[in-house]
A = this chain, B = another copy of it.
Amino acid sequence: MNRTMKVASLLATVSFGALTASQALAAESLQDVMKRRGLNEKDVLAAAKTYTPTGKRDEFVVFSSGGQSGQVIVYGIPSMRILKYIGVFTPEPWQGYGYDDESKKVLSEGGSVDGRAITFGDTHHPAISETNGEYDGQFLFINDKNTPRLAVIDLKDFETKQIVKNPIMQSEHGGAFVSPNTDYIIEASQYAAPLGGEFVPLEEFNDKYRGAVTYWKFNREKGRIDPENSFSVELPPYSQDLSDFGKGPSDGWSFTNSFCSERYVGGIERGRPPFEAGCSAKDTDFLHVLNWKKGEELFKAGKFKKVNGHAVIEMATAVKEGMLYLIPEPKSPHGVDVTPDGKLLTVSGKLDSHVTVFSFEKIQAAIKAGKFTGKDEYGVPIIDMKETIHKQVELGLGPLHTQYDAKPCVAYTSLYVDSMLAKWDFCEGKIIDKVSIHYNIGHLMAMEGDSAKPAGKYVVALNKLAIDRFNPVGPLHPQNHQLIDASNDKMQLLYDMPLPLGEPHYAVAIAADKLKPHVRYPHGTDSRTEEKHPAAVRAGKERIERSPGKVEVFGSVIRSHITPEIIEVTEGDEVTVHLTNLERAQDETHGFAVSKHNVNLSLEPGKTASATFKANKSGVYPYYCTEFCSALHLEMQGYLIVQPAGYKATETKAKEGVTYAKADYDTRVKANIDTQKVIDSVVGYITSVNYKDFAPVVALVEDATDQLNFAAGAKAKSEEFAAKGDYHNAFLWAEQWFQYQVKTADIGLRAKTFLEQNGAKKVK
Contacts and interface: CB of A to CB of B under 8 A. Distances in A.
Nearest to A601: B68
Interface string A503-518: 1010000001001111
A193 B417 contact: no
From A332, A467, A616, A742, residue with most partner B Cβ within 10 Å: A467
A407 to B, nearest CB: 14
Interface string A87-107: 000111111000100000000
A69 B93 contact: yes
A621 interface: yes
B622 A191 contact: yes
A369 interface: no
A746 interface: yes
Given A657-B262, A657-B264, A735-B281, A517 B45 contact: no
A199 B565 contact: no
A406 interface: no
Q: 7 smallest A-B Cβ distances: which pairs?
A: A263-B657, A47-B51, A269-B564, A475-B604, A191-B622, A93-B120, A277-B736
A85 interface: yes
A68 B54 contact: no
Given A68-B600, A270-B566, A275-B565, 14 more contacts: A9-B353, A13-B397, A26-B41, A44-B44, A58-B471, A76-B470, A76-B471, A118-B596, A157-B474, A158-B473, A241-B634, A269-B564, A279-B635, A501-B501
Nearest to A158: B474
19 contacts: A26-B45, A34-B48, A47-B51, A68-B602, A69-B94, A76-B471, A157-B474, A197-B620, A199-B619, A265-B566, A265-B657, A266-B561, A269-B542, A269-B565, A278-B735, A281-B731, A282-B658, A468-B586, A472-B515
Interface string A266-306: 11111011111111111000000000000000000000000
A685 interface: no
A656 B206 CA distance: 8
A187 interface: no
A258 to B, nearest CB: 10
Contacts of A488: 27
Contacts of A207: 655
B655 A206 contact: yes
Nearest to A745: B417
Interface stretch (A128-136, A215-223, A308-316, A431-439): A431-439
Contacts of A418: 10, 13, 17, 749
A452 interface: no
B616 A353 contact: no
Contacts of A696: 467-468
Interface stretch (A247-255, A320-328, A646-654): A646-654
A647 B199 contact: yes
Residue from A50, A498, A622 having most chain B Cβ neighbours under 10 A:
A622
A73 interface: yes
Interface stretch (A177-185, A357-365, A489-497): A489-497
Interface string A197-240: 11111111111010000000000000000000000000000010
B749 A199 contact: no
Contacts of A338: none
A595 B654 contact: no
Interface in A405-461: 416-420, 433-436, 438-440, 442
B44 A9 contact: no
Contacts of A81: 80, 470, 496-498
A259 interface: yes
A438 B55 contact: yes
Interface stretch (A382-390, A528-536, A572-580, A624-632): A624-632
A639 interface: yes
B561 A268 contact: yes
Contacts of A343: none
Given A563-B269, A637-B191, A146 B595 contact: yes
A709 interface: no
A54 B469 contact: yes
Contact of A30 (B45, B416, B505, B655): B45
Nearest to A512: B471
A624 B500 CA distance: 22
- Describe A's contact surface by its main secondary structure: loop
A307 interface: no
A82 interface: yes
A489 to B, nearest CB: 9
A645 to B, nearest CB: 11
Interface string A58-92: 10010000111110011110001111110000111
A68 B438 CA distance: 34
A555 to B, nearest CB: 8
A175 interface: no
A95 B74 CA distance: 20
A492 B545 CA distance: 54
A266 B157 CA distance: 34
Nearest to A647: B199
Given A472-B519, A626-B122, A53 B45 contact: no
A737 to B, nearest CB: 8
Given A114-B596, A118-B596, A589-B477, A200 B620 contact: yes
A670 to B, nearest CB: 15
Contacts of A600: 68, 120, 122, 146
B631 A416 contact: yes
B519 A753 contact: no
A241 B641 CA distance: 22
Contacts of A517: 472-475
Contacts of A473: 61, 74, 83-84, 158, 517
A439 B629 CA distance: 11
Contacts of A733: 273, 277
B68 A561 contact: no
Interface string A110-124: 000111111110100
A577 to B, nearest CB: 12
A120 B598 contact: yes
Q: Give the interface centre of A198, A596, A729 by most chain B CB atoms within 10 Å.
A: A596
